[in-house]
Amino acid sequence: MIWTVHQLSLTDRELAELADLVAERVRGDGHRSSRAAETTGTGTLLTADELAEILGVPTGWIYRQSRARTIPTVKLGRYYRYRLEAIERWIVEREQAA
């Protein structure tokens, strides 16, 4: 059976712990991190605040683009995360289209 985060009724803290466990499993190194930006075997995950700072835009703009599905987004329950490598490719695509 496959469970969604909503069906599990997790608290914010439990969801954060679950995200850490998943990141640990993906890395396979047994190391747990409490940092918002995780480096995993599949890339670096950033928070909206971190991405906004990198791109020099307001955090609200990042969330609006995520909801509109115009920016590559990883959705973890109610949380949005952004894979740095996917964002970099997205920017290159935008530059080439312009």
Q: What DSSP assignment string belongs to 43-64?
A: EEEE-HHHHHHHHTS-HHHHHH
User: What tens digit of pLDDT does each residue of 25-35 get?
Assistant: 555 555 444 44
Residue 61 sits at φ, ψ, to 5 deg, of -65, -40
Confirm whether pTM is higher than 0.75. no
Partners of 39 in beta bridges? 44
Give the model's pLDDT for residue 7.
44
Question: What is residue 29's DSSP assignment?
Answer: S
Dihedral angle sign, alpha carbons of residues 56, 59, 60, 63: positive
Give the model's pLDDT for residue 2.
43
Residue 77: which of 15, 3, 32, 13 has the closest Cα?
Answer: 15
Residue 74's pLDDT band, with cuts at 50, 70 and 90, is very high
Residue 23's pLDDT band, with cuts at 50, 70 and 90, is low
Give the model's pLDDT for residue 95.
85
47 pLDDT above the threshold of 60: yes
